[in-house]
Amino acid sequence: MSTKVVKFGGSSLADAEQFKKVADIVLSDPTRRYVVASAPGKRFSGDVKVTDMLYNCYSLAVQGESFAASFESIEQRFNDIIAGLGLDLSLEKEFEGIKDAFAHRAGRDYAASRGEYLNSIILAKFLKFDFVDPAAYIRFDEQGQFDLETTRELLSKKLAESEYAVIPGFYGSMPNDTIKTFSRGGSDVTGSIVANAVNAVIYENWTDVSGFLIANPMIVDDPEPITTITYRELRELAYMGATVLHEDAIFPVRKANIPINIRNTNAPEDKGTFIVSDTAETARYTITGIAGKKGFSVIQIEKDMMNAEIGFGKNVLRALEKNNVCFEHMPSGIDTMSVIVASESLIGKEKAVLDEINYRCRPDKMEIENNLALIAVVGRGMRKQRGTAGRLFSALAHARVNVKMIDQGSSELNIIIGVEEEDFETATRAIYDMFVMTAQE
Q: Which domains does the chain have, with CATH numbers?
A: 4-276 (3.40.1160.10), 289-440 (3.30.2130.10)
The overall pTM is greater than 0.95: no
Average pLDDT over residues 329-335: 87
Assign 407 a pLDDT band (cuts: 50, 70, 90).
confident
Q: Which helix (H) or strand (E) holds 367?
A: strand 365-378
φ, ψ at 299 (rounded to 5°): -95, 110
So what's the pLDDT on residue 386? 83
In whole angstroms, what is the distance from residue 158 CA to residue 151 CA? 10
Q: Which of 149, 107, 137, 176 is nearest to 34 (CA)?
A: 137
pLDDT tens-digit series, residues 15-34: 999 999 999 999 999 999 99
Average pLDDT over residues 135-144: 96
Average pLDDT over residues 110-114: 97
pLDDT tens-digit series, residues 155-164: 999 999 999 9
Distances in whole angstroms, Cα of residue 11 to Cα of each of 3, 23, 170: 24, 14, 15
pLDDT tens-digit series, residues 196-250: 999 999 999 999 989 899 999 999 999 999 999 998 888 888 777 766 676 677 8
| Percent of the chain residues topping a pLDDT of 70 | 97
Three-class SS of residue 301?
Answer: strand
In 108-210, beta strands by DSSP E: 130-131, 165-168, 171-173, 179-181, 202-207
